[in-house]
């Protein structure tokens, strides 16, 4: 039977990954699985050895998918609703496990038939999908919507094809056959910068703190070392941010603002992110190659801790905020290792309390913005709405503790040896207290950015008092 010449309406079969949705459920399921238990990583090669269908089915058996929040292609969904209203038979034809495909079909409510992978030994893609559709409708008895090289065989058997956001193989096929094209969006500079979270690189300026406090800010060798360490940490941090985004896809899509992140929204693909991680780690290693071995040790510890944070620590009550405070302090330690300057107990103690306060602000803002009922846990966190008062009290107490440590440091013999006029840096203690308490007041009012570091970098009052503190610090060291 060949229906290529028929003019009557024929069924429309639609691919899922990359076509109906902007993402790939194999990758999403894999990161959901690793978030559940990172040890499953050792089982992935075992499952994959039996074929991709086995891997997909094993993942689907262990994780659940939130079909409501996936990044659907709005233009395709709208078209399907129009075709359904016109009485056309619609099929979801995908290599995705049936568990996921049925959830998506139930959410959209437009498909009459769902064809999906049911057997661990038979992946319903390419020739298998083509054979199933031909068996049901005959050669040329259906139209098909797809996007990748796995769809080429199906395109050849369809009466008419629609190519959506094609990879290079599907793009070449579309150009040769002149069929309908629904173009996808290419990665933009904005989406790439958002992926890298370039604004977060500001945190890595902490690397220069030991050099500045040692009054070596005019030492060319130390300046170069700080720049290299900054580049290395920034590249590593961006790589971890990408991994963090992968593990938080479901939670981000339910968040008012985080749902617009590149991977959660589908603006960037997971394979693109994986390639970017490789490039970023290569840059980080290249920059670190010129720095002392102790810097490598700190960088390695940073990568281990941040990865552990992405896969589990961030869901643990209080452990998450102590980890964040420790990661900030680790940047200061890295700066000391890169430049060969001494580490001060006072500096590390101040850093822990100060950044613990800011980390608690992040959790306070999340709790304050939630509509969860008492007893329900914040998505991806270990906190409940009733914890908000304790979080706020701990955060304010940490702010005062940081100012107290700074005041004790200013009155220590170390300062008297370093600064000819130590009395000039006494205003630093109230400046720090002003910065942190103002952040907490604004957080209480609901006027705080979810990242206080970003807030400080964009708030003119915070910038002004920080500049005053920097001037006083330099003046105390150089004024005769």
> If you average pLDDT over residues 223-228, what whole number do you get?
95
Query: Does the residue 155 lie in any domain?
Result: yes
Bridge-partner residues for 160, per DSSP? 143
Q: Looking at the structure, tell me whether residues 175 and 316 fall in a common domain.
A: no
> If you average pLDDT over residues 341-370, what whole number do you get?
89
What is the tally of structural domains in the chain?
A: 2
Q: Is the pLDDT confidence value at 114 over 70? A: yes
The Cα–Cα gap between 266 and 253 comes to 10
> If you average pLDDT over residues 3-22, what whole number do you get?
79
pLDDT digits (tens, 9 = 90+) for 365-401: 988 877 777 877 877 788 888 999 999 999 999 999 9
Q: Looking at the structure, tell me whether residues 39 and 140 fall in a common domain.
A: yes
Query: Does the residue 6 lie in any domain?
Result: no
Alpha-carbon 83 to chain mean position: 36
Task: Return the percentage of the chain with pLDDT > 90, whole number.
Answer: 67
Q: Which of 280, 377, 373 has its CA nearest to residue 320?
A: 377
pLDDT digits (tens, 9 = 90+) for 255-291: 878 889 999 999 999 999 999 999 999 999 999 999 9
Q: Pick from 182, 199, 221: which residue ends a domain?
A: 182
Q: Looking at the structure, tell me whether residues 354 and 420 fall in a common domain.
A: yes
Q: Pick from 182, 211, 230: which residue ends a domain?
A: 182
CATH number of the domain that 308 lies in? Answer: 1.10.357.140
Q: At what angle do helices 460-478 and 428-445 cross, to 10 degrees?
A: 170
Q: What is the pLDDT of residue 7?
A: 38
Tell me the pLDDT band of 447, cut-offs 50, 70 and 90: confident
The pairing of strands 143-146 and 113-117 is unpaired
Q: What is the pLDDT of residue 4?
A: 45
The Cα–Cα gap between 275 and 262 comes to 15
Structure-token pair, residue 190: 């904005």
Bridge-partner residues for 162, per DSSP? 145, 180
What is the residue-averaged pLDDT of the chain? 90
User: Which span out of 137-146, 380-389, 442-451 was modeled with the highest average pLDDT?
Assistant: 137-146
Q: Pick from 182, 205, 232: which residue ends a domain?
A: 182
Q: Is the pLDDT confidence value at 429 over 80? A: yes
Query: Does the residue 350 lie in any domain?
Result: yes
- Which H or E run contains 401? helix 388-410
Q: Is the pLDDT confidence value at 55 over 80? A: yes
Number of H helices and E strands in the chain, helices first, is 22, 6
pTM, entire model? 0.85
Range of the domain at 341: 189-478
Q: Looking at the structure, tell me whether residues 229 and 100 fall in a common domain.
A: no
Q: Looking at the structure, tell me whether residues 164 and 203 fall in a common domain.
A: no
List the Cα angle 92/273/170 in 5-degree steps: 45
* Cα-trace Rg, the chain: 28
CB atoms within 10 A of CB 255: 18
> If you average pLDDT over residues 33-48, what whole number do you get?
92
Of residues 372 and 39, the one with the higher pLDDT is 39
Q: Looking at the structure, tell me whether residues 173 and 197 fall in a common domain.
A: no
> If you average pLDDT over residues 107-114, what whole number do you get?
96
Query: Does the residue 228 lie in any domain?
Result: yes
Q: What is the pLDDT of residue 160?
A: 95
Tokens 């089915």, residue located = 57
Q: Is the pLDDT confidence value at 311 over 70? A: yes
CATH number of the domain that 45 lies in? Answer: 3.40.50.1000
With a CB cutoff of 8 Å and minimum separation 6, the contacts of 99 are 60, 61, 65
Q: What is the pLDDT of residue 479?
A: 64
Q: Is the pLDDT confidence value at 3 over 50? A: no
What are the DSSP calls for 92-159, one per residue?
Answer: EEEEEEHHHHHHHHHHH---SEEEEE-BTTB--SHHHHHHHHHHHH-BT-SEEEE-SGGGHHHHHHSS
Query: Does the residue 1 lie in any domain?
Result: no
Q: Looking at the structure, tell me whether residues 460 and 335 fall in a common domain.
A: yes
Q: Looking at the structure, tell me whether residues 143 and 202 fall in a common domain.
A: no
Bridge-partner residues for 182, per DSSP? 164
CB 6 within 8 A of CB 139: no
Query: Does the residue 4 lie in any domain?
Result: no
Q: What is the pLDDT of residue 446?
A: 86
Q: Looking at the structure, tell me whether residues 222 and 371 fall in a common domain.
A: yes
- Which H or E run contains 400? helix 388-410
Q: Looking at the structure, tell me whether residues 169 and 201 fall in a common domain.
A: no
Query: Does the residue 5 lie in any domain?
Result: no
Residue 254 DSSP label: T
Q: What is the pLDDT of residue 109?
A: 95
Q: Looking at the structure, tell me whether residues 44 and 162 fall in a common domain.
A: yes
Residue 14 DSSP label: E
Q: Looking at the structure, tell me whether residues 213 and 157 fall in a common domain.
A: no
């Amino acid at each position: 039977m060949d229906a290529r010449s028929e003019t009557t309406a024929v069924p429309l079969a639609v691919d899922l990954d990359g076509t109906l949705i902007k993402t790939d459920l194999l990758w999403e399921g894999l990161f959901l699985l690793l978030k559940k238990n990172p040890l499953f990583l050792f089982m992935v090669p075992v499952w994959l050895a039996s074929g991709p269908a086995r891997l997909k089915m094993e993942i689907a058996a262990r994780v659940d998918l939130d079909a409501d929040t996936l990044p659907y292609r709005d233009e395709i969904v709208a078209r399907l609703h129009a075709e359904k209203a016109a009485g056309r038979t619609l099929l979801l034809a995908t290599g995705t496990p049936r568990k996921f495909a049925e959830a998506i079909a139930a959410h959209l409510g437009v498909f009459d038939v769902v064809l999906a992978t049911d057997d661990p030994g038979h992946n319903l893609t390419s020739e298998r999908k083509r054979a199933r559709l031909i068996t049901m409708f005959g050669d040329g008895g259906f139209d098909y919507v797809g996007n990748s090289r796995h769809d080429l065989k199906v395109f050849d058997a369809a009466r008419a094809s629609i190519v959506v956001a094609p990879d290079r193989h599907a793009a070449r096929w579309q150009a040769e056959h002149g069929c309908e094209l629904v173009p996808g969006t290419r990665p933009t500079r904005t989406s790439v910068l958002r992926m890298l979270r370039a604004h977060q690189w500001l945190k890595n300026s902490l690397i220069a703190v030991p050099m500045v406090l040692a009054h070596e800010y005019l030492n060319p060798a130390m300046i170069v070392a700080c720049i290299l360490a900054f580049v290395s940490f920034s590249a590593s941090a961006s790589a971890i941010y990408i991994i963090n985004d992968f593990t938080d896809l479901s939670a981000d899509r339910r968040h008012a603002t985080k749902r617009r992140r590149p991977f959660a929204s589908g603006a960037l693909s997971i394979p693109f992110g994986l390639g970017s991680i490789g490039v970023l780690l290569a840059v980080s290693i290249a920059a670190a190659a010129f720095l002392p071995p102790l810097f490598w040790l700190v960088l390695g510890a940073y990568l281990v801790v941040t990865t552990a944070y992405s896969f589990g620590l961030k869901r643990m009550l209080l452990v998450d905020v102590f980890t964040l405070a420790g990661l900030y302090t680790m940047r200061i330690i890295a700066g000391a290792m890169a430049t060969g300057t001494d580490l001060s107990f006072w500096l590390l103690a101040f850093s822990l309390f100060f950044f613990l306060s800011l980390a608690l602000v992040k959790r306070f803002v999340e709790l304050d913005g939630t509509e969860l009922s008492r007893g329900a846990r914040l998505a991806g966190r270990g906190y409940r709405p009733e914890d908000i008062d304790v979080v706020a009290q701990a955060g304010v107490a940490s702010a005062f503790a940081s100012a107290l440590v700074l005041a004790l440091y200013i009155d220590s013999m170390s300062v008297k040896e370093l600064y000819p006029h130590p009395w000039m840096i006494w205003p630093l203690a109230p400046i720090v207290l002003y910065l942190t308490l103002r952040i907490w007041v604004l957080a209480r009012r609901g006027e705080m950015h979810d990242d206080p570091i970003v807030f400080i970098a964009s708030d003119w009052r915070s910038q002004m008092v920080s500049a005053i503190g920097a001037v006083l610090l330099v003046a105390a060291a150089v004024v005769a």
